[in-house]
Copies of this chain bind each other. A is one copy, B any other.
Amino acid sequence: MKELNLAIEKLGTPSIKSPLKNTFFEKNGAAIITLKDIEEINKYQKSNKEFPKLEKAGPREKIYFDPAWSNAAILTAGGLCPGLNDVVKGITLTLKKRYNVPIVYGIPYGFRGLIPEYGHQPIILDADTVDDIHEDGGTILGSSRGWQDEKIMVDTLVRRNINMLFCIGGDGTLRCAHDVAKEVKKRGLSIAIIGIPKTIDNDISFIDKTFGFETAVYATNEVITAAHNEAKGALNGVGLVHLMGRDSGFISAYATLANSHVNYCLVPEESFSLKDGLRPLLPMLKSRLENRQHAVIVVAEGAGQDLFKGSEVEKDKSGNVLHQDIGLYLKKKIAEYAKEEDFEINLKYFDPSYSIRSLPSHGTDAVFCLMLAQNAVHAAMAGKTDMVVGHWNDSFTHVPIPAATSQRKKIDVEGPLWRSVSSVTWPGY
């Protein structure tokens, strides 16, 4: 962690007075430390090294861009996630109502919309266009996967005279945004590239919480209850629920803690075996059914990938590894095992993925989306670039894209979250 660069790229020195009124401004040097424990702090103090620190988000008294001459653009890329429209709405209204930026473009279908040959026309975003969009899931801009040529995209930005580009998307999107930022820098242009990290899996480094995650956790409740009802409704009923979580099992872990009907929680961070080996799922399942006649299993999509050893690795357009489907695999293996053991099992399979990621966000999750959006605009206006808006220790922060995408955040199986999960799952519960 020590060598990690947490300094934010800037387009230049802000020199224009902010038009914001009746507000207080964050100082540019303001920073929060990334460490929590007194022990970690003490180590740094002894070593005379500086604490790693994250720049605070918020409006600055002096801004870099003159709002009256600014054209902003927003795009959404990758899979759906609750809150996308909230973020689009928040950015649009903050730009238009607080900074009086005259034009905000919505770029259709992600980075595709910046490639002229596809022929997509930007839409004009204003108070009317975005008025009710937060009530709907999905994204009014449309989305797409995959990398596009940053040179052509920068050409488009220049041609359209866009000086702020807000990219809402996951790892792949942010890396592509970083390429755009590098190209902008290479050409010496003044275009701020601001990312808003979208990962329903909550797995971004230096960011303790991502938008949509909370909504996803709430939404798992219904499907897990359905799985439990089906499990109880049949002899030796098993409800098998396949949840999102390619590399990190946060959704599955939280879903397990939020709904006490879950008996097994399988995540990428903790391996398990089917019959022989560490944590053998099938015999434990049988023992629970013999004791309680029903069970619910939650499995994250990235769990148990080592069971497929030897298979080819495939990737999607965004470069994400395409996993073997552990849900359907377990379904098959449980059926085979039941046959082998001559033990009746009635399994029902649930895969709610699209139904969850296409929900709108509400409540504290919607508040979070709005604040991310407001801070993204403040960052862009201040001339920050090649960064994402993050959240750490109850504060909004700026994180360089390379730091945010350096590695996936994962559940610490020796930490308090997994300790809680372990203590409420089988055996015992």
A105 close to B (CB within 8 Å): no
Chain A, interface size category, equals 35 or more
CA distance A422 to B97 in the complex (A): 12
A327 close to B (CB within 8 Å): no
Interface residues of A in 239-260 (CB under 8 A from B): 254, 257-260
The reply to whether B226 and A374 contact each other, CB–CB distance below 8 Å, is: no
A424 close to B (CB within 8 Å): yes
CA distance A59 to B415 in the complex (A): 12
| Selected interface stretch from A63-71, A162-170, A390-398 | A390-398
A234 close to B (CB within 8 Å): yes
8 nearest A-B residue pairs (beta carbon) = A138-B229, A218-B363, A229-B358, A137-B229, A138-B233, A257-B367, A226-B358, A31-B38
Contact (A428, B22) CB under 8 Å given A233-B358, A366-B257: no
Question: Which residues of chain B have C-beta atoms less than 8 A from A371's C-beta?
Answer: 257, 416, 420
CA distance A139 to B394 in the complex (A): 30
The reply to whether A33 and B24 contact each other, CB–CB distance below 8 Å, is: no
Name 9 A/B residue pairs within 8 A (Cβ), A-sorted: A32-B36, A41-B51, A94-B423, A134-B260, A138-B229, A139-B233, A143-B233, A225-B358, A350-B354
Question: Which residues of chain B have C-beta atoms less than 8 A from A424's C-beta?
Answer: 93, 370
CA distance A33 to B217 in the complex (A): 29
CA distance A38 to B56 in the complex (A): 10
Question: Which residues of chain B have C-beta atoms less than 8 A from A227's C-beta?
Answer: 354, 358
A410 close to B (CB within 8 Å): no
Cβ-closest chain B residue relative to A109: B235
The reply to whether B226 and A354 contact each other, CB–CB distance below 8 Å, is: yes
A288 close to B (CB within 8 Å): no
Residue A374 contacts which of B20, B37, B420 (CB distance < 8 angstroms)? Answer: B420
Residue A226 contacts which of B30, B89, B137, B393 (CB distance < 8 angstroms)? Answer: B137
The reply to whether A97 and B429 contact each other, CB–CB distance below 8 Å, is: yes
A222 close to B (CB within 8 Å): yes
Residue A234 contacts which of B94, B144, B208, B370 (CB distance < 8 angstroms)? Answer: B144
Interface residues of A in 141-158 (CB under 8 A from B): 142-144
The reply to whether A39 and B45 contact each other, CB–CB distance below 8 Å, is: no
State how many angstroms separate the Cβ of A52 from the closest Cβ of chain B: 10
CA distance A235 to B94 in the complex (A): 28
Cβ-closest chain B residue relative to A59: B419
CA distance A94 to B423 in the complex (A): 8
The reply to whether A258 and B366 contact each other, CB–CB distance below 8 Å, is: yes
Cβ-closest chain B residue relative to A108: B235
Question: Which residues of chain B have C-beta atoms less than 8 A from A395's C-beta?
Answer: 36, 416
Residue A137 contacts which of B132, B217, B225 (CB distance < 8 angstroms)? Answer: B225
A382 close to B (CB within 8 Å): no
Name the residue among A45, A371, A393 with the largest chain B CB count within 10 angstroms.
A393
The reply to whether A229 and B80 contact each other, CB–CB distance below 8 Å, is: yes
State how many angstroms separate the Cβ of A413 from the closest Cβ of chain B: 9
Question: Which residues of chain B have C-beta atoms less than 8 A from A5's C-beta?
Answer: none
Cβ-closest chain B residue relative to A363: B218
Question: Which residues of chain B have C-beta atoms less than 8 A from A311's C-beta?
Answer: none
Q: Given A30-B37, A135-B135, 20 other A-B contacts at CB below 8 A?
A: A24-B414, A31-B38, A32-B37, A33-B36, A38-B51, A41-B51, A93-B424, A97-B429, A132-B136, A138-B229, A140-B232, A142-B232, A142-B235, A208-B394, A217-B364, A217-B367, A254-B363, A350-B354, A350-B355, A371-B416
